[in-house]
Structure 1
Amino acid sequence: MTSASGRVVLRELAHQVGGSFGEAADAMYARLTDGPPGAIDWGPADSVAATPDEHTAWRAATRRFQETVVAAERRRAAAQYSLRNRFLPGGARRRTLAAAHCRAVLGGAVRAYGPVIAEIERRRAAEQAERRRRQQELNRRWRERAERDQERRREQSRRHLAVAAQPVWGWTLTEYGGSREVWVFRYDVQPVARPGDPVGGSPEPLTAMGLERRLKALARQARPGRLGCRWDERATMRVARECTVGELAGDFEIWWAAVTHSYWESPYEIPERRRERGAVVLPGPEIRLE
């Protein structure tokens, strides 16, 4: 059957829908031409492009080929097993002539059907080659994309470290309603809004490593309570922009997790000592919470 896209399903063609003779045309042709096993093997998913006229011609040629072969082989079998040819005088000669006639008919059927098989196989091979070429091209593009992504990730890792090495961070300890919170900002970025009631702050700009040490020192001195940590939004947005590489967007929380020594579940929660991941934490200067 030819689909709307102009394709012939070879398995349906080989079995001649509505007139199957048991042996498919591709297997029959391969048998009669002594081809290697599997040389012509049309699977259920195999199809080739063809015009409606080509499909009609192929269908008619396939039917003629199958009918001719089946009829010739039946006549040869009848001659071979005929009681007349087995027991009456001249039987051997008649069997020989029947076999020769069958070979001649089969040879003619193969020659007549050969161009159809050759054209179908040519188109099938060309389409398979084109599919392989497209798959190879797709694989090449995926490899190139994966290599680009890997290079972006490496570049982003380098940027993580470069951004972390910048001495731009500051902190302010604030108090409101009896609770204290540390507010983190960047000196090179105009903050959204400065908090009120500061009770302490950084004397100089810090790198990310220095900032981590100060935040953990503040948290230790704030115990037994927990010290909240709030980051200036514009500062975190600047980090995300600085860590963006091509289509690979930067992320402040990923950056902070990558450049700090302790395990931070969130930049907004200073980790306790028991949740640290084995990094050596250098003590910071004594900070008075006054």
Structure 2
Amino acid sequence: MQTSGADIAGIPLRLTQSVHLFGQLPSTFNDAPSDEAEWQTWLQAAGAVEAAHRSTIAWLRSRMPSYPQLPAPQLTPGTALTTTEYTYRLVWQPGERAAGLQRQDVPPVGRLLQATPAQACTLAESARALAAAFQTSEEWQQLEATRAQLDEEALIALRQARGRLKERLAPEAIDAHEPKLALARHNYRCTVLAEELETLTGPAQHFADAFHRADMLIETAASDVFGQLAIYGLPIQLGKVTNIDLEPGTPRRAHFTPENDLWLETGELVQIDDPLVDDTCLLTGMTINFGFGQEPSRMTAQILPGTRSLWKPSPSG
């Protein structure tokens, strides 16, 4: 499934949807599990972990400024953040904002994980510490500031954008664009949302941008990075790399060429031995070339600021 494009290695705590989707597709490879009973047992365990993870993410989101009153166009039904179909994004689940999570002191995950009282206490303390860190982050503070600056004109603009999105992303509209292919439907949702966000100006635009950054901080830190650390362990030490190109903007991204041909997966955490990129990086893309005379392999990674001293990397193998 990984080589088929499911990228399950990059999202280890939320892979069951991809596993289910790709399991329904015909394959030319003999990738059926050797022991069906063992495979189903593993899937059930993975599903329980994912359910607890998504509940924790929902609880963390409930700590966002002005939650649940978030007039963000990104939360319109049918977007990549709210769809019940295939999506790369970590979705806001149906009914999540109406569940009263903001009134709960800890995420409701102990029973899902069959945690002992001591384990449940540790889970609660960790969740509260992470929520506190998010609340002091620049991204969340910007969200709070831009939400306070929304005047009546900006609220109307956001409401109109959500109305247009609701029409353009209605099930029949998406079916008319692409009736079957999951990735094409996902890309259409993203394109339509981007077009509507481009129409916003002033405080409405600032709020939508701030919401995106605040939400992506949760997805990156609490799901992508945490998932890698929890499942695979410490970042991989790549050693020397060459031809480093740094993209401007936030988040910062680096493009580089490893000295040796390494078989890595998108989503993995890496550290490189170069002062230009002093922090741990999250691999987001790569081009692997084989054969004599081919262009060298290139990797793209998101730089995670302030993380250089957090983890001691393991050597690449």
Shorter-normalised TM range: under 0.3
Q: Quick one: higher RCO (CA 8 Å, sep 6+), 1 or 2?
A: 2
Structure with greater helix share of residues:
1
Instruction: Provide TM-score, normalisation by structure 2.
Output: 0.23
Structure number with greater Rg is 1
